[in-house]
């Protein structure tokens, strides 16, 4: 029953007079303020309001969903198939639960222990141990991968209902490890660096195929990146020896090719010189032949010009000179020797030391 504060203060004021022994001393006015006079009438409503506020604070029947997130409502344990978009939402406490899931791009790194310390950890990034694989001959190999993916928003309630909140470790992780082991295990370890691009393409293709084959397509696979192939030390040493041998073979091939080029160059120069000399000799021979042909032609033309009358004229001229010689040297011995068309005349005078030869 509400307490009347006016009666309480009246009683206090009456008792106070006798206790102080004031006699006729007047008492101060102890009448309460106006709002306290009506407090007893409204106390019940105030108590109810306080109780409601306390219940709201404890139960918190509302939630704020941020961008890049999605809410999944479960009523009495049953998931609502319609996801809750970002914003302010109310729900019934103790009967309904709201599960917040991340729909932003997420990253799963498969990395060796040496690299884990250098990876920036943050929201949406999960670090896993490097994938251990046996090559085609049973040698251990480690593969570092990075997978980017995101939860499909439209099917998120069904995905969480089927796989739970740890859906990444049940959908992404097993598929990535299984596909990587199957693909890499087809190659010997020493061929892995050479076939890196082909291996990365196969891993990406098969992971996408397996993820898309999941019921309801719960995940959008964005990228699969093959970051590193960690080989056993003896395989590394073997590859290094092969690389050194290849470099030496390439150097030898280069030197042989260079020597061949030098030989071809010298041969070309020698051939050029020989051709030049041959051309020069041919030119000289052609010049001699042309000159000989010209002389022969001239002789033929001269021969054609020597007629019977010309020969008779030459004989007359010789006879005239013969007669002149006899007049000067009457006792001389004169010899005629054949000289072609015109004979040679030798005159032997009385002076044996003096001889005259005429050839005209």
Rounded Cα gap, residues 114 and 34, in angstroms: 76
Burial label for 83, CB within 10 Å (0-12, 13-18, 19+), is buried
The SS3 of residue 126 is strand
Q: Which two tokens stand for residue 226?
A: 């093959």
Rounded Cα gap, residues 40 and 43, in angstroms: 5
* H, E, C per residue of 51-114: HHHHHHHHHCCEEEECCCEEEEEEECCEECCCCECCEEEECCCCCEEEEEEECCCEEEEEECHH
pLDDT of residue 336: 54
pTM: 0.54
Q: How many CB atoms lie within 10 A of CB 219?
A: 22
Burial label for 137, CB within 10 Å (0-12, 13-18, 19+), is exposed
Top-ranked range on mean pLDDT: pick from 2-16, 115-129, 215-229, 254-268: 215-229
Q: Which of 124, 153, 148 is nearest to 216 (CA)?
A: 153
Q: Using the predicted structure, report yes or no on whether residue 180 has a pLDDT greater than 90.
A: yes
The stretch 117-124 carries a mean pLDDT of: 53
Which of 299 and 154 is assigned the larger pLDDT?
Answer: 154
Considering only 106-110, 238-242, 286-290, 356-360, which range has the smallest mean pLDDT? 356-360
Q: How many CB atoms lie within 10 A of CB 160?
A: 21
Task: Strand 96-102: give its sheet, edge to edge.
Answer: 78-79, 69-75, 96-102
243-270: pLDDT as tens digits: 788 888 888 888 888 888 888 888 888 8
Work out the mean pLDDT of the chain and round it to a whole number: 77
pLDDT of residue 108: 93
29-85: pLDDT as tens digits: 556 555 555 555 566 667 777 776 777 667 677 788 888 888 888 888 888 888 888
Helix H segments across 149-232?
Answer: 156-163, 167-184, 196-212
Rounded Cα gap, residues 134 and 137, in angstroms: 7
Which of 329 and 26 is assigned the larger pLDDT?
Answer: 329
Phi/psi region, residue 191 (left: phi>0; alpha: psi -120 to 50; beta: rest), is alpha
Q: Using the predicted structure, report yes or no on whether residue 100 has a pLDDT greater than 80.
A: yes
């Amino acid at each position: 029953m509400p307490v009347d504060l006016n009666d309480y203060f009246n009683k206090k004021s009456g008792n106070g007079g006798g206790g102080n022994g004031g006699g006729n001393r007047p008492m101060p006015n102890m009448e309460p303020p106006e709002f306290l006079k009506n407090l007893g009438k409204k106390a019940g409503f105030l108590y109810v309001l306080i109780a409601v506020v306390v219940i709201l604070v404890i139960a918190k029947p509302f939630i704020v969903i941020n961008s890049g997130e999605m809410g999944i409502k479960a009523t009495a344990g049953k998931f609502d198939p319609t996801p809750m978009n970002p914003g302010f939402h109310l729900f019934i406490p103790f009967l309904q639960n709201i599960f917040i899931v991340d729909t932003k791009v997420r990253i799963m790194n498969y990395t060796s222990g040496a690299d884990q310390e250098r990876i920036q950890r943050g929201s949406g990034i999960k670090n896993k141990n490097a994938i251990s694989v046996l090559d085609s001959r049973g040698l251990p190999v480690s593969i570092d991968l990075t997978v980017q993916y995101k939860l499909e928003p439209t099917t998120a309630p069904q995905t969480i209902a089927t796989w739970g909140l740890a859906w990444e470790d049940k959908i992404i992780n097993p598929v990535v490890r299984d596909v990587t082991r199957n693909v890499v295990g087809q190659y010997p370890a020493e061929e892995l660096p050479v076939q890196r691009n082909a291996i990365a393409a196969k891993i990406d293709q098969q992971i996408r195929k397996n993820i898309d084959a999941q019921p309801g397509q719960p995940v959008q696979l964005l990228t699969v990146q093959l970051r590193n192939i960690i080989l056993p030390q003896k395989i590394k040493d073997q590859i290094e020896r092969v690389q050194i041998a290849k470099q030496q073979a390439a150097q030898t091939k280069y030197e042989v090719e260079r020597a061949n080029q030098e030989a071809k160059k010298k041969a070309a120069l020698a051939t050029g010189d020989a051709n030049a000399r041959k051309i020069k000799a041919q030119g000289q021979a052609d010049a001699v032949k042309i000159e000989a042909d010209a002389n022969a032609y001239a002789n033929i033309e001269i021969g054609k010009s020597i007629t019977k009358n010309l020969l008779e004229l030459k004989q007359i001229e010789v006879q005239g000179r013969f007669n002149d010689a006899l007049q000067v040297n009457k006792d001389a011995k004169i010899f005629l020797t054949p000289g072609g068309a015109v004979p040679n005349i030798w005159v032997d005078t009385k002076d044996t030391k003096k001889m005259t030869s005429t050839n005209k």
